[in-house]
Structure 1
Amino acid sequence: MGKKYCAMNTKYYKNSNVGEIDHVLRNMAINVNSIESLTKNNFGFCFGDSDLKTHYKNKLDQAKKANKLALQSNSNTFIDSVLIFDSVQFEKCLNDGKKDEVEQATKDFMQEYKNLYGFEPIGFEFHLDEGTKIDFDTYEKLDIEEQKKYVAVENDNEAFTTEYIKRNIHAHAIFLNYDFQKNKSCLRNMRKKDWENSQDLLHKYFEKFGFDRGEKKKTSKKDHKNKAEFVRELALKNNELVENHSKNLQEKNYLLDQIIDHQNDLNRFDDLALYAEKIKKFIFSFKEKNPKLISKLLAMPRAEQFKDMALSIYDALTKKTDIAPILIEEIKPLKNDEIQKIEVDVEAKKKRIKKINNRRKYSNKPRPNKDI
């Protein structure tokens, strides 16, 4: 008879990849590789009072407060140890009523894992809803021993079973990459021998259920990756790309709205731009004749502030009437404090000059005018 293996494959993630935990908890809108009717059979445990993801976030915050330098933005914050079990042997454990014992063995495994390597256990989830599906006709063609590897897929819409699944039974054991006793991260201290010993540790707790220790990997990590893992990773990357694309679309929509609003503003001032251009040409042609008045006109900050004046001047230009009186009449309401101040200063200077001249008129000895 073939061996009934149990094995362990650990991967580590940054906090930005917390979507991996959503996959573990089946929180995604589309859970790739899972069969919805079998998801109800999944089971797990959280070492905190909340759900697994919330407990992870709480422990991560606690670790950051304990040591701000241990887990930074680019650090790997958690590991996902995938515990893989021979499906036939695991089904036998469940049928023998050993589900609670399996759950307790997983808790004990994770606690000792913490004692040996420092990783803080967050929780685990057993997935019994993944695997390879075949239809009824294909199932009927299998021999009896091969059929034992498949279980029926329940379907409320069918009167009889039409699909069977060869389950890929595994558990996701989530650990925080932090040792609260030593107040530091753990991954950098792990060596190749430690990962090999962790396989022995898993077998230590599941040997009593009839599982053999998984063999050492003889292939590269890339070659060892099975179809389920590969598809799941693609799904996670796809979800991340969709989220980023959605954010980019929102930003582009916001910019597009701004551009449309700006274009509408420009359209509202199309006529004004035409008038302003004609005023500009007129101003420079008139500048030599009345420099002070024109300099004040040019000092105005925005053309739209004298739109009515622009219309009047344009009418005057097109009718070839005397522009000076119209320009002066239009500029009067726009006088500001500075212009009025200049006019007051001019009047005061005129009075001062008049007073000095009168003094000279009645003086016996004329003197130079130093005050002007």
Structure 2
Amino acid sequence: MKVPMLDLTQQYQTLKPQIQEAIEDVMSNGRFILGQDVKKLEEDVAKYSNVGHGIGVANGSDAIHIALTACGVGPGDEVIVPSFTFFATAGAVARAGATPVFVDCDEKTFNIDPVKIKEAITEKTKAIVPVHLYGQMADMDPISEIAKEHNLAVIEDAAQAIGSKYKGKSVGELGTAATYSFFPTKNLGAYGDGGMVVTNNEELAEKMRVIRVHGSKPKYYHHVLGYNSRLDELQAAILNVKFPHLDEWSNMRRENAQNYTELLNEKLPNEVVTPFIADYSHHIFHQYTIRVQKRDELQAFLKDNGVASMIYYPQPLHMQPVFKELGYKEGDLPVTEKAAKEALSLPMFPELKLEQQKYVVDKIAEFYSKN
């Protein structure tokens, strides 16, 4: 049996007529930049996030960068970020001219540890960027308290977490702003790049709208240095077709996650640590990530048996060569470094079949029976 990490073709086939119609509508009306489809998506995603404003941008990385810039983050500032995440989180901080300050993660959730955030604050700290990793929100109450105490902006990196909740509240409600990615592999994915910032702050939203069009308002009059970073109209049209199905797809992911957990706990209670779901969390399982020993050997065995898997993330950000000058060394963030050696994400997408999951778990069991 072949089990892919994800299969985007199945989703497309179910929506093909509507998607083709949406593309044809854009081609026919000739409005390709910041048209009605972008506006509709901005409004719908903002409402879904229970905030007042959505600002469509070119990708999730730019979303973080633009949000930080609008909050006044720049040279001389420090921004606290997790090390166990995708590069874009810290890369956006560096692109804004600020210094990323890496802190350790929580061993159970993989998300940033609020206790470590508190320890990392200096007089230069300007913002915190918690990442809602794998589809589960970070512990936002203590993060918000720390931010309020020190007058810091909180930019939620929710690239993997659209639809997740914290104590019943949505992504975007608990920070200064939140950022989404619509990269094709995301739970709500375009057929190319795309991203969005959502916020309740009207003044901040207007700054970001200006920044995304070269800093011009009105057109050809530039009062700030902005960027060319706009959500494409064609991608917005595709996302508008897919968006009404998001909650259904998230529920299918949650069911698949429950199946995995039951199967793994039954067959491999001592070899596999299944995902921890915090009591405050509505987890939407962008990824289903286990912790195992002999991780790399297991991944190779699964590949040989037709099962795809991914390692998110094999090298923590504080150990990346591009950040060498910041002076971090091995052992500085032990929980993160341990996670980078043990985390393995299994196939996860809404259309994943139970028999495929059983096959995956059987192969994991077979590996550990031999090792």
Compute the TM-score of the two structures, normalised by the length of structure 2: 0.22
Q: Larger RCO: Structure 1 or Structure 2 (Cα < 8 Å, ≥ 6 residues apart)?
A: 2
Compute the TM-score of the two structures, normalised by the length of structure 1: 0.22
Q: Which has the larger radius of gyration?
A: 1
Structure having the larger proportion of residues in helix: 1
